Amino acid sequence: MNGNNHSQRGIWLAIILLASWGVAAVVGALFHVEGAALPTVLGASGAAFMSVASLGLAAHRFMTG
C-alpha cells in the first residue's frame, strides 16, 4: 500500500486527521489536568491539531511524491 492510488487518498486523510485529533485530545487533557485556563487548553489543543495535521499531510505528500 503505497498511498499513491487515488482511491486511497481519503483513507490516508482520515488516518492523519484521526491521529491529529487524538494528539489534540491528549494535549488538551494534559493542559486541563495541570489546571490551565480554558482558553489556554483550547489554544494548545488547537495548535497541536493543526501542527500534527499539517506535518502528517506534508510527510504523506513527501513520501508518495
Instruction: Show pLDDT as tens, one digit a residue, over the chain (65 residues).
Output: 565 677 788 888 999 999 999 999 999 999 999 999 999 999 999 999 999 999 999 998 898 87
DSSP code at position 56: H
- Asked, for residue 53, whether it belongs to a domain, the answer is yes
- Asked, for residue 52, whether it belongs to a domain, the answer is yes
- Asked, for residue 44, whether it belongs to a domain, the answer is yes
Q: Which domain holds residue 22?
A: 14-64
pLDDT of the residue at 8:
82
The domain tally of the chain equals: 1
Using CB atoms within 10 Å of the CB of residue 3, give its burial: 0 to 12 exposed, 13 to 18 middle, 19+ buried. middle
Residues making up the chain, counted from first to last: 65
- Asked, for residue 7, whether it belongs to a domain, the answer is no
- Asked, for residue 42, whether it belongs to a domain, the answer is yes
Taking the whole predicted model, whether its pTM rises above 0.75 is answered as: yes
Buried residues in 8-20 as b, exposed as e (16+ CB within 10 A): eeeebeeebeeeb
pLDDT of the residue at 10:
87
- Asked, for residue 9, whether it belongs to a domain, the answer is no
